[in-house]
Chain A
Amino acid sequence: EAGVTQFPSHSVIEKGQTVTLRCDPISGHDNLYWYRRVMGKEIKFLLHFVKESKQDESGMPNNRFLAERTGGTYSTLKVQPAELEDSGVYFCASSLQQTTEAFFGQGTRLTVV
């Protein structure tokens, strides 16, 4: 069974550009989560989808971040325009139910220069 897959694994963009990160959850997992780790700090929750609906987006830092999960399958996280402080590792996770184990992807390392 394939795990959670994230694309790309690394991305380097200039300040002001747009970047889209993609997450493919484990097949059948209705719950999908985005987290972010800024360098040297803790991993922080961004948002939670149940199928295609945003259940909790309390961790989204500002309106430059847009998450979508059309059709309730894969999800994208767009940053537009990117700022230097957006650099970090973005993790995606999925779970079958909200209370069952969440499986994490390997993360996307985003560097804004």
Chain B
Amino acid sequence: AQSVTQPDIHITVSEGASLELRCNYSYGATPYLFWYVQSPGQGLQLLLKYFSGDTLVQGIKGFEAEFKRSQSSFNLRKPSVHWSDAAEYFCAVSPPGGGNKLTFGTGTQLKVEL
């Protein structure tokens, strides 16, 4: 069965510092990959997605993620974090070919220190 692992439950970074959130997946084939963010009181918002092609994908709010097939990873990065980035981040996969039956990781709570 497919699974998604986000090894970091909480991460604290200083404003202006770089950020990397880790995500590893287990799947029989290369799934479609997603990162979502949930800010307090808000729904889940799609940051970016990877289906195929260029393994470095750009998303909204200055985020990017890199797909590494050999490591079954899809880590999220941002060069300089803003205080408004404090939120919970979820990595998710769906079966190859798409569809919105998503398998999520447990989430990483990001705290930003001013």
A-B complex is real: yes
Contact B101 A48 (CB under 8 A): yes
Cβ of A37 to closest chain B Cβ, rounded Å: 8
CB<8 Å pairs between A and B, sample of 21: A3-B43, A33-B100, A33-B101, A35-B102, A40-B106, A41-B106, A42-B4, A42-B104, A42-B107, A43-B44, A43-B90, A43-B92, A45-B101, A45-B102, A93-B100, A95-B100, A98-B99, A99-B97, A102-B102, A104-B44, A104-B45
Which B residues are CB-close (under 8 A) to A35? 102, 104
Which of the listed residues B44, B46, B92, B99 has the most CB atoms from chain A within 10 Å of its own CB? B44
New contact pairs (16) apart from A43-B44, A56-B101, A99-B97, CB-CB < 8 Å: A3-B43, A33-B100, A33-B101, A35-B102, A40-B106, A42-B103, A42-B105, A43-B92, A48-B101, A93-B100, A98-B98, A98-B99, A101-B49, A103-B43, A104-B45, A106-B41
Given A99-B99, A102-B100: A42 and B106 interface contact (C-beta under 8 Å) = yes
Contact B43 A105 (CB under 8 A): yes
From B4, B43, B46, B98, A106 is in contact (CB under 8 Å) with B43
Please, which residue of chain B has its CB at the minimum distance from the CB of A106? B43
Given A40-B106, A41-B106: A106 and B101 interface contact (C-beta under 8 Å) = no
Cβ of B98 to closest chain A Cβ, rounded Å: 4
A41 to B44, CA, bound (A): 16
Contact A99 B98 (CB under 8 A): yes
List 3 A-B pairs, minimum CB-CB distance, nearest first.
A99-B98, A104-B44, A104-B43
Name A residues whose Cβ lies closer than 8 Å to a Cβ of B: 3-4, 31, 33, 35, 40-45, 48, 56, 91, 93, 95, 98-99, 101-107
A43 to B100, CA, bound (A): 13
Which of the listed residues A31, A33, A102 has the most CB atoms from chain B within 10 Å of its own CB? A102
From B42, B92, B100, A98 is in contact (CB under 8 Å) with B100
